[in-house]
Amino acid sequence: MKNLIGYLWFFGMTLKVISQDTLSLVSGYVDYLGGSSPVTFSLTFNRAPDFFTVNSFNYQADSFRFQISTNREIPMFNGLVASTVEGGDIHISGEISIRDPKPDPWNINGPPGELRGVVPYSLIDSTITFSVPADILNVEDQFGYRLSIGNYFFEVNSYSGMSGGPIAVPEPSKALLVLAGLILSCWCRSARC
């Protein structure tokens, strides 16, 4: 029984370390009243993001990207994308870039879309906020979006929704815990824990 408690403690601590390392969204909103009013974004992460450490390929340790739809549909690839909000450019200019969609969405190493503008941001602890003029974002009405959160270029979390309210953040998956429990249970039976 002591072995089982030890294994469970070790497994729990491992999950805690893994979940703290990966940047994920705790809460956020995309506030837009329509017309020419600015679009305000707010993202609160599970830890303070690292926007200035880069790897040998010049990718940020932590980044985010909003793909903004041309309408109320959720953008997939570049078919409905009006613009992108590039948090992955913060380490270059110290600001958030707003770009046109990539010319070739299938070429991940291809050139980025043309620069539409840059905006300043405020980062306090684990919350980043910024506002983008509607004309730079290329929107006139409520829009759909897809938010990707990355780690050194690789997407680790994604969220989608409509402007004008909070970003829907799902509860952590319990499926992994159930699977791990089943594996641990089978292992304990074979090892006679």
Q: Check which CATH number belongs to the domain holding 139 and give it.
A: 2.60.40
181 located within any domain: no
For CA atoms 16, 18, 19, 22, the dihedral sign is positive
Give the residue numbers spanning the domain of 115: 24-172
Considering only 11-25, 73-87, 91-105, 167-181, which range has the smallest mean pLDDT? 11-25
Considering only 6-20, 119-133, 174-188, which range has the smallest mean pLDDT? 6-20
Could you report the per-residue pLDDT of 123-153, keeping only the tens digit for each? 999 999 999 999 999 998 889 899 999 998 7
Among residues 144, 167, 162, 130, the alpha carbon closest in space to that of 38 is found at 130
What domain count does the chain have? 1
116 located within any domain: yes
pTM (2 d.p.) = 0.76
10 located within any domain: no
Measured from the Cβ of residue 131, the count of other Cβ atoms closer than 10 Å reads 16
Distance of alpha carbon 53 from its chain centroid, rounded?
17
